[in-house]
Amino acid sequence: MASRSTINSYQLKKGKNETPDYAGDYVLERVVLINHMQMKVDVKYIMQELNIYESIYKNAITGSIVIADEGNQIARMSMNGLERIAFHLRTPGVSYGREDVVDATEETGEPFHIYKITDRKQVNQGLTIYTLHFASREFMRNLRTKVSQAYDGKYDRAVIDIMKDKNYLDSRKKLHYEPTGNANKIVIPNLNPFAAINMIAKRSMAEKSNGAGYYFYESTGGYYFRSWASMITSQGEFARAPKQQFYYQPGKMASENTTKTKDKQGNNRTQEKIEKEYQSVESYEFVNNFHDVASNTALGTYGHRVISHNLFDKSYDIADYNFHSEYQTVPHTDSVEKYQNTGKFPIMNTPVDYDNSDNVSSYSESRVSLQTTTPFLHDKDVGKYGLEPLQDGIKTGNVISQGNQVELGTTLLLTVKGQSYLQSGDLIEFNLRDVNKDDQENKSDPRFSGNYIITKIRHHVTGEEYTMVLECAKDSVATAYDTQNINDEFFLGLRASKSELQLEEIDGDIYT
């Protein structure tokens, strides 16, 4: 198991002389409903639960709040779908930066917009329960506007323009963006702003990390336009430190208020019980802990043949994507060293038929795609990615494979105490004890411990506590799999059996 000397005690930094009273403690001073006439009412004390959802696969934050209404506030507020909801959620003791809290206030943040009311029912005389659904302002702006414009230059500049344009998203939030290394003229044909940015994201290539394909999403810290590689590295080559470390150790939790441990330099330090509880996992579940090799093969994760048809000179090019050849060219969750053969593949490159040397990446025709490329369309000799046209095929293979590795790879659900500074796209470390009961050394699981990227978060607040459900993904394994020499006696023995198709001619009727 990883040493606890590397535990990040970020959540216990004192701010305004505060520390949490217990793990799961939170500060939520008011929850204010604001109607179309700017009438305001605080519903904090009639709120049963508050949920906030964010994901790297979603372009906007959404949420819901369950209200137990004894004063018929829904009628007094004349609610009709044009309301806003304002609140400020934080974990006590954080550093109080804008990105460490969920700030939806009118003063320093931006309230969410309510767009529907569901599940309304009368429990008894005078008590009505209903659910208000809300989303960020950009969510509603996206539904109301269209982008019909051409952009020329680097793709990240086009995204910035769409985000700040008053005729489009008109966003006032911080946009964290990773500069793109490719540029081209792109025409947006009357699309919603989110669809326009998603189209640009699919064509974007990172300037420093060699990341293929971008994610455009909103978290509680603002908007992000970035590659998967940027979530793992800084500047494309330096490993990011985990935002938090989590441990799952079923059984007894130490009852002492403090625990002796060591810091990174080996010096003794005292770890508070609350700090330890923040890093403890209440429950975990692997949604997918073994790659669906059949699905990934069919979808082109391992091998993919891309045929690019050049409409300008009527030629075509065939590019074969090979997962194991391309794996080391980009960083992965447990493997940042791009130019070292770490061997932390989620699936090994050993023979799949056992009687030859072909691995899963050798079959490029597992998926065959046809795409068009049009150089000189805008007087530039570039392909669809704004790069040399012959790169179109291999770049498409990279984009599709990288997306599949994240969405169809190892996916982990963690239930932990609420920590308002954690966001989608953050890197965490999960330390899972090996389930082998004979292991007396308390080792970490060699495959499923290690680094993960948070892909989805559900912030869940009730009257008692603040918890989070994290969905996390990794595209590698913590410890490389053992390798087998394909020339050894084991494989030679398999080759010797039934090396040819057996034939039998059938004459006459067959009865069974």
Contacting residues for 314 by C-beta, under 8 A, at least 6 apart = none
- How far lies 180's CA from each of 119, 201, 206, 351, 401, in Å? 45, 10, 5, 37, 19
What is the reported pLDDT for 417?
A: 96
Q: Rounded to two decimals, what is the model's pTM? A: 0.88
Asked if 147 contacts 168 with a C-beta cutoff of 8 angstroms, the reply is yes
Mean pLDDT of 2-19: 40
Backbone angles phi, psi at 432, to 5 degrees: -110, 125
Q: Please give the Cα distance from 31 to 33 (Å, whole number).
A: 7
Tokens of 489: 């006696």
- What crossing angle do the helices spanning 137-144 and 193-203 adopt, rounded to 10°? 100
Report whether pLDDT(270) > 60.
Answer: no
Torsion of CA 176, 181, 185, 190, to 10 degrees: -30
Report whether pLDDT(262) > 70.
Answer: no
Beta strands in 338-404 (DSSP E): 368-373
**Would you call 195 helix, strand, or coil by DSSP?**
helix
Mean pLDDT of 493-498: 54
Backbone angles phi, psi at 249, to 5 degrees: -135, 90
What is the reported pLDDT for 102?
A: 94
**Would you call 163 helix, strand, or coil by DSSP?**
helix
Sign of the dihedral defined by the CA atoms of residues 77, 80, 82, 86, in that order? positive
pLDDT bucket at 10, cuts 50 / 70 / 90? very low
The single residue listed with the structure tokens 């974990």 is 91
Mean residue pLDDT across the chain: 85
Asked if 246 contacts 431 with a C-beta cutoff of 8 angstroms, the reply is yes
Q: Please give the Cα distance from 422 to 236 (Å, whole number).
A: 22
Element (H, E) at 64: strand 62-69
pLDDT bucket at 34, cuts 50 / 70 / 90? very high
List the one residue out of 208, 209, 244 whose CA is nearest residue 228.
209
The single residue listed with the structure tokens 């597992």 is 366
**Strand 222-227 and strand 450-462: pairing?**
unpaired
CA angle 488, 490, 494 (to 5 degrees): 120
Asked if 222 contacts 174 with a C-beta cutoff of 8 angstroms, the reply is yes
- How far lies 254's CA from each of 175, 260, 272, 327, in Å? 42, 11, 11, 42
Tokens of 80: 């009709």
What is the reported pLDDT for 6?
A: 28
Mean pLDDT of 241-266: 64
Asked if 252 contacts 263 with a C-beta cutoff of 8 angstroms, the reply is no
**Would you call 159 helix, strand, or coil by DSSP?**
helix
Q: Which long-range contacts (CB under 8 A, 24 or more apart) does 248-257 make?
A: 248/280, 248/281, 248/284, 248/430, 248/431, 248/432, 248/433, 249/280, 249/433, 253/277, 253/280
- What crossing angle do the helices spanning 193-203 and 155-164 adopt, rounded to 10°? 170
Tokens of 401: 């494979």
Q: DSSP letters along 471-506, please?
A: EEEESS-SSPPP---TTSHHHHHHHTS--S------
pLDDT digits (tens, 9 = 90+) for 171-223: 999 999 999 999 889 999 999 999 999 999 999 999 988 788 999 999 999 99
Report whether pLDDT(498) > 80.
Answer: no
Q: Please give the Cα distance from 65 to 6 (Å, whole number).
A: 37
Report whether pLDDT(15) > 50.
Answer: no
pLDDT digits (tens, 9 = 90+) for 467-486: 999 999 999 988 888 765 54
How many beta carbons lie within 10 A of that of residue 421, not counting itself? 22
CA angle 455, 459, 464 (to 5 degrees): 150
Element (H, E) at 140: helix 137-144
**Would you call 509 helix, strand, or coil by DSSP?**
coil
Least confident of 140-149, 322-331, 360-369: 322-331
List the one residue out of 58, 31, 52 whose CA is nearest residue 42.
31
**Would you call 271 helix, strand, or coil by DSSP?**
strand
Element (H, E) at 245: strand 244-248
The single residue listed with the structure tokens 């030679």 is 492
